[in-house]
Amino acid sequence: MNSLPENYRAAGDDELTARIEAVKKRMGKRLVVLAHHYQRYEIVSLGDYIGDSYGLSRIAAKSAEAEYIVFCGVRFMAEAARTLCRPEQKVYLPNLSAGCPMADMASVEQVNEAWESIKQVCPSSTIMPISYMNTLTELKAFTGRNGGLICTSSNAEVAFKWAFERGEKLFFFPDQHLGRNTSKRMGLKPEQVYLFKPDSQISKTDQQAIIAAKVILWPGYCYVHTKFTKDHIDEWRAREPKVKIVVHPECRQEVVDGADAVGSTAFIVRYVETAAIGSTIAIGTELNLVSRLARTHTDKNIFELSGESCAICSNMFRTSLADLCYTVENLDTIPQIMIDDEIKTDARTALERMLEIGG
Ligand code: SF4
């Protein structure tokens, strides 16, 4: 963070690490540091828990002894932790500028407008909203208020099944690729999946497509996971016939279709851990995670799938050791993550439905 005091900006990594470790030791279980898999290596090394957004939200909900929860990730993750933990617990995001561009692709106004339009087109259908974890807290609240739930890439299929038991159509936002890939895994045909066009008039053709659809998708996407292409897969298979390709479901459908395995960040970590020694694995997900897996599993050959396009999440990369050190050394004086009570109640309902269905 540019606004950090000089003594944090000038300190070297070894000094910052030692200072963070000293605070953690002094505070014991009163302080919990959560680190997302896409954080820098040195931040992950200091996490009490490392995981994806699903795993870490479960931990945040269960960290009963912690007075302070520091979430090294992006804003929607820290807000989900704030929503799930007890009111007296304090939640922090070490770099407040770390957002998620995909989450910002669906505004509250746009989604509300879309919801009303879809209901007008299908007045007699029960429509269930499902919000991806990567979304604004206000939209999680919208989902909770309207009977829906949150999902992550770990449990999207279970969430879709849950919603189809309660409604005829699903309205899923904001990641079109996770929505499309999950719909296909559940046996839906392309014509049963409609990509909504926000901010434009719904034509007669669109109306018919919405009526025919089982799943209505928002046109959001992750700029990191959509960097991977089918060409990258073809090049790998031509060069290394024994390669195993594993990708995240935020990748485009043709990439998911061409892979040997697809799954959440936690799934990818397990895939690498359980692969045979000597395996060659090309991974379609964020570079910091792939680099850490390669560094940890030196008995396997681990590569990033594109090899060229630098699939790095610059938002995850924003959190530095200096940010983390500043946060843990100033817990009682710096701003916590706060959410309006009314929004929190509805968002919590949607998040708790997700935790109930499991992954
Ligand atoms: S990797 Fe993609 S979805 Fe995840 S925080 Fe970065 S931009 Fe958002």
Does residue 27 register a pLDDT over 70?
yes
Task: Indicate if ligand 1 lies below 6 Å from the C-beta of 222.
Answer: yes
Rounded CA-CA distance 323/319 in Å is: 6
Atom of ligand 1 nearest to the CA of 102: 8
Q: The tokens of 295 are what?
A: 């560094």
pTM for this model (two decimals): 0.94
Rounded CA-CA distance 239/231 in Å is: 12
Does residue 1 register a pLDDT over 60?
no
Q: Which of 93, 100, 283 to mutate to test the pocket of ligand 1 (most atoms within 8 A of CB)?
A: 100
Q: Which of 53, 316, 317 to mutate to test the pocket of ligand 1 (most atoms within 8 A of CB)?
A: 316
pLDDT tens-digit map of 256-301? 999 999 999 999 999 999 999 999 999 999 999 999 999 999 999 9
> What mean pLDDT is predicted for residues 199-209?
91
State the Cα angle at 252 between 247 and 253, rounded to 5°. 90
Does residue 157 register a pLDDT over 70?
yes
CA of 31 to the centre of ligand 1 (A): 26
User: What domains are defined for the chain?
Assistant: 6-100+317-339 (3.40.50.10800), 103-222 (3.40.50.10800), 225-304 (3.40.50.10800)
From the list 199, 196, 227, 221, the residue with the least C-alpha distance to 311 is: 227
Rounded CA-CA distance 103/8 in Å is: 30
CA of 159 to the centre of ligand 1 (A): 20
CA of 357 to the centre of ligand 1 (A): 24
CA of 105 to the centre of ligand 1 (A): 12
Nearest alpha carbon, ligand 1 atom 2 = 222
Atom of ligand 1 nearest to the CA of 250: 3
Task: Indicate if ligand 1 lies below 6 Å from the C-beta of 316.
Answer: yes
Question: How confident is residue 199, by pLDDT bands cut at 50, 70 and 90?
Answer: confident
Amino acid 168: pLDDT: 96
Q: What percent of the chain has pLDDT over 90?
A: 92
CA of 338 to the centre of ligand 1 (A): 22
CA of 100 to the centre of ligand 1 (A): 5
Q: What percent of the chain has pLDDT over 70?
A: 99
Nearest alpha carbon, ligand 1 atom 3 = 222
Rounded CA-CA distance 159/359 in Å is: 9
Amino acid 2: pLDDT: 54
pLDDT tens-digit map of 100-139? 999 999 999 999 999 999 999 999 999 999 999 999 999 9
Rounded CA-CA distance 112/141 in Å is: 12
CA of 313 to the centre of ligand 1 (A): 6
Amino acid 3: pLDDT: 83
Amino acid 62: pLDDT: 85
Does residue 234 register a pLDDT over 70?
yes
Amino acid 352: pLDDT: 94
> What mean pLDDT is predicted for residues 298-309?
92
Task: Indicate if ligand 1 lies below 6 Å from the C-beta of 100.
Answer: yes
Q: The tokens of 336 are what?
A: 């916590």
Average pLDDT for the chain: 95
Nearest alpha carbon, ligand 1 atom 8 = 100
CA of 359 to the centre of ligand 1 (A): 20
Nearest alpha carbon, ligand 1 atom 5 = 100
CA of 207 to the centre of ligand 1 (A): 32
Nearest alpha carbon, ligand 1 atom 6 = 313
Atom of ligand 1 nearest to the CA of 134: 3
Amino acid 275: pLDDT: 98
pLDDT tens-digit map of 41-94? 999 999 999 998 888 888 988 888 899 999 999 999 999 999 999 999 999 999
Phi, psi of 133 (to 5 degrees): -55, -35
